[in-house]
Structure 1
Amino acid sequence: MFKDSVQLEAVELISAMAGGWKPRLIVEAWSRGSNITTSIGLSIAARHQSSRYVCIVPNQRAKLEFETLLKDRDSPMPELVVGEAKDVMAILPEVEFMVVDAKRKDMYELFRLAKLSHRGAVLLCTNGNHRFGAGFGWDLVVGKKSRLVRSSVIPVGQGLYIAYARKKCESEKILLRNGSRWMWITRIDQKTGEEHIFRG
């Protein structure tokens, strides 16, 4: 009972985050044997926000299992895409909300290959404790084309690892001012030409 309630807390949190962020595209990478309630929560959030919801499964067997689980719970079916990370992520447009099960062997590749939207993306890794414990680092996940803005670990479910990342652009550079330990990020607005400086 306690395990189920903790899992429910994780699902409710993920669903609420998806609803609050109002993403145009929600991407989930599902793994066989994982709890289907996260997918149901994302489906509900996508329906309320009129978001596109795509679920990536590794093979036809996983696709069949996923479809059966959702049908048994009378839940709306997302767009299901079967294939390897490099092939699937290449056909998806800009991602704004992405959930990947840490049980997937291609987890790092899925995150790295995601094309982030102009406003960035919320990235979530479920079942993180199953694979990473305290050693998980988003810097290794977001890749060179993206910049990690903020990250957190929420002790719900089997460990929920959350990050907000933005894609880097040519007009963005990182400076160190006066030997300070703070990083100063300078960004040039392409439309107005104005320079914006943020301390990170």
Structure 2
Amino acid sequence: MKLVWCPETAVKAYVDAVKALAERGLEERSVAELVSAMAGGWKAQLVVEAWARDAGAATGVGLRAAVEHVRGRHVCVVPDEQWAAEYVGAMRRAGSSVEAESVAVGEAEGAMRELEGVDLMVVDCRRRDAKTVLREARPGARGMVVVCKWAGNQRGGAAGVFRAGTRVVRATYLPIEGGVEVFHVGVGKGPSLGDGRAPWIRHVDHYRNEEHVFRRW
């Protein structure tokens, strides 16, 4: 099995996200609209959001708009109860209720271990444990799409932190809202980025307006 793109559902999810975000006047809308379309287009059944403190509710609102179309599940992962309270508060201020089962509280290793079969994951790279979250992600039977927000702060890219044996078949960088890296994790046997070669990884530091190139061995 593999993830199959459905443009009709992607459009519906995108339009609903645009409307919801506009009504609430939320910031960081570009990424929120993007991940909403992805969740809808891939018909993601389990969507995991690794939320960063003070990140706001835009991404959560966008993802919730998407999962309603595909009858999926949106779960936010936070490290402790204080973060959980802040996330729930941000969502409620944005007019979106949050059920207890929609928030996974705990260290990244334990929290991600309980979430088997991830179809889409959105990670805010401003989290100190972002690399651990990525490494502990467990893709679904169809593979997984990973979106790294604020990836411009990550020197060397996020691809190198996935757990050993993870098959990254596609990767792209989008210069929006602090930098966004998107990875497509495949299933089964086949080539992976970096197999048999040492690829060059491009990194843009938006704070210093510099571009760096790294070679991953």
TM-score computed with the length of structure 1 as normaliser = 0.77
Structure 1 equivalent of residue 72 of structure 2: 51
In the alignment, is the contact (CA less than 8 A) between 1:85 and 1:110 conserved in 2?
A: yes
Structure 2 equivalent of residue 188 of structure 1: none
Is structure 2 residue 175 aligned with structure 1 residue 158?
A: no
In the alignment, is the contact (CA less than 8 A) between 2:56 and 2:90 conserved in 1?
A: no
Q: 1:34 aligns with which of 6, 31, 55?
A: 55
In the alignment, is the contact (CA less than 8 A) between 1:15 and 1:45 conserved in 2?
A: yes
In the alignment, is the contact (CA less than 8 A) between 1:7 and 1:156 conserved in 2?
A: no
3-state secondary structure, aligned to 1:38: helix
Is structure 2 residue 96 aligned with structure 1 residue 75?
A: yes
Structure 2 equivalent of residue 104 of structure 1: 127
Query: Partners of 2:97 and 2:180 in 1: how far apart?
Result: 24
- The number of residue pairs the alignment matches comes to 167
Structure 2 equivalent of residue 60 of structure 1: 81
Gaps of 5+ in 1: 175-179, 182-200
Amino acid at match of 2:143: G
3-state secondary structure, aligned to 2:138: coil
Amino acid at match of 2:38: M
CA-based RMSD: 2.2
Amino acid at match of 1:23: A
Amino acid at match of 1:25: L
Structure 1 equivalent of residue 168 of structure 2: 148
Query: Partners of 1:47 and 1:111 in 2: how far apart?
Result: 25
Query: Partners of 2:186 and 2:157 in 1: how far apart?
Result: 16
Gaps of 5+ in 2: 1-24, 198-217
Structure 1 equivalent of residue 141 of structure 2: 118
3-state secondary structure, aligned to 1:61: helix
> How far does residue 5 in structure 1 lie from its aligned partner after superposition?
9.3
Structure 2 equivalent of residue 187 of structure 1: none
Is structure 2 residue 127 aligned with structure 1 residue 127?
A: no
Query: Partners of 2:69 and 2:190 in 1: how far apart?
Result: 38
Identity of aligned residues (%): 33
Query: Partners of 1:125 and 1:173 in 2: how far apart?
Result: 24
3-state secondary structure, aligned to 1:94: strand
> How far does residue 6 in structure 1 lie from its aligned partner after superposition?
8.1
Matches within 5 A, 1:159-198: 159-167=179-187, 169=188, 172=189
3-state secondary structure, aligned to 1:17: helix
TM-score computed with the length of structure 2 as normaliser = 0.71
4+ long deviations beyond 3 Å: none
Amino acid at match of 1:45: A
